[in-house]
């Protein structure tokens, strides 16, 4: 049991070494908004990871084996969301900066950052593949 936990932790650490959409959305929120909003974004991502882990423990791999189209639909919807998110980030990057740099941006909604973090993780194909294949192998093995 303990060796399985260490194996899962090692595989998870290796998976975390390659940055993905979660990392980029946290960096963007931390740089462009407040610390509170960045932490809310991290909490949303954490809830998304807990959701994928719970589904994996409850038989996500079995579900995807029975209904192969379901994984494709989830990945397509996730890709569409990440494409929209990329559009929003690029659009905001290319906007002309009309405000003076000395002004501090007004604090936004922590709930909005939480939802963005949650949706980014839930639509992350890397998380879906990791929890439906790699994580499932170690849990059932």
CA 47 to chain centre: 9
Task: Pull the structure tokens for residue 122.
Answer: 């839930």
Which token pair is 64?
């995807």
Of the candidates 7, 106, 128, 141, the one whose C-alpha atom is nearest the C-alpha of residue 60 is 128
Q: Which two tokens stand for residue 139?
A: 């849990």
80-133 pLDDT, tens digit each: 877 887 888 788 778 766 555 444 455 567 899 999 999 988 888 777 777 777
- Amino acid 102: pLDDT: 42
In this structure, are residues 128 and 63 in contact, taking their beta carbons and an 8 Å threshold? no
Per-residue pLDDT, 103 = 44
**Domain layout of the chain by residue ranges:** 2-94+106-140
pTM for the complete prediction? Answer: 0.67
Residue 99 DSSP label: S
pLDDT band at 137 (very low <50, low <70, confident <90, very high): low
Task: Assess contact for 16 and 124: CB atoms under 8 A.
Answer: no
**Tens-place pLDDT, residues 6-46:** 877 777 677 667 778 888 889 889 988 889 999 999 999 99
pLDDT of residue 141: 52
Predicted confidence at residue 23, as pLDDT, reads: 86
Dist. CA 109–CA 85, nearest whole Å: 17
Measure Cα distances from 23 to 14, 42, 120, 124 in Å.
15, 9, 10, 11
Do residues 103 and 32 touch, judged by C-beta distance below 8 A? no
Alpha carbon distance 75, 1 (integer Å): 32
């Amino acid at each position: 049991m303990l060796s399985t936990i260490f194996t899962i932790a090692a595989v998870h650490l290796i998976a975390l070494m390659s940055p993905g959409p979660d990392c980029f959305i946290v960096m963007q929120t931390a740089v462009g908004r407040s610390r509170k909003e960045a932490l809310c974004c991290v909490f949303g991502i954490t809830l998304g990871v807990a959701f994928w882990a719970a589904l994996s423990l409850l038989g996500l791999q079995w579900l995807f084996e029975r209904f192969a189209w379901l994984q494709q639909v989830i990945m397509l919807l996730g890709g569409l969301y990440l494409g929209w998110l990329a559009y929003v980030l690029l659009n905001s990057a290319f906007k002309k900066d009309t405000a003076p740099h000395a002004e501090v941006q007004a604090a936004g909604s922590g709930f909005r950052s939480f939802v963005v973090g949650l949706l980014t993780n839930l639509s992350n194909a890397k998380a879906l593949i990791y929890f439906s294949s790699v994580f499932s192998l170690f849990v059932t093995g």
